[in-house]
Amino acid sequence: MEETITVKKGGLWKYASFIVVIVLVVGVFMFMNASGGKATGNVVNGGETGAQQVTLSMKNNNYYPNTITVKAGQPVSITLDKSIQGCFRSFTIKDLGVKGYSQNPSQTIDFTPTKKGTFRFACSMGMGYGNIVIE
């Protein structure tokens, strides 16, 4: 006595198609966010005040770019754009004695770095952070 097993072909294709779509969506998402918020950026010199202008935004729950480069002895003006929320608006560079709160993008955090090196910047709670390289 032989037993016959029947497999529906249509059902298997539904699951395979679903898995392929999920893999593609995840792949595209990972590709688009490959930088992980660790891109570096340089400042634009000049502006109305002659200061080195830095604009930070928020990406992947951190400051972006999270590494900035400025020149020692020249004023720096940091703008926190409208994407930055909560405690990230309270900006500090502890080792340089820089503390500032920017309620909106029109309020800048201004200072003149005198020490060369790489220093950590962060929000008041340390949840968002990055590095400022002073050359």
pLDDT, one tens digit per residue, over 30-82 is 333 333 333 344 555 555 568 999 999 999 999 999 999 999 999 999 999 99
Domain identity same for 55 and 107: yes
Domain identity same for 27 and 49: no
pLDDT at 105 over 80: yes
**Residue bearing the bigger pLDDT, 118 or 48:** 118
**Does residue 2 fall inside a structural domain?**
no
Cα separation, 43 vs 34, whole angstroms: 23
**What integer pLDDT is reported at residue 33 of this predicted model?**
36
Helix (H, G, I), strand (E, B) or coil at 84: coil
**What integer pLDDT is reported at residue 36 of this predicted model?**
38
Domain span at residue 76? 40-134
Lookup: tokens for 79: 């703008």
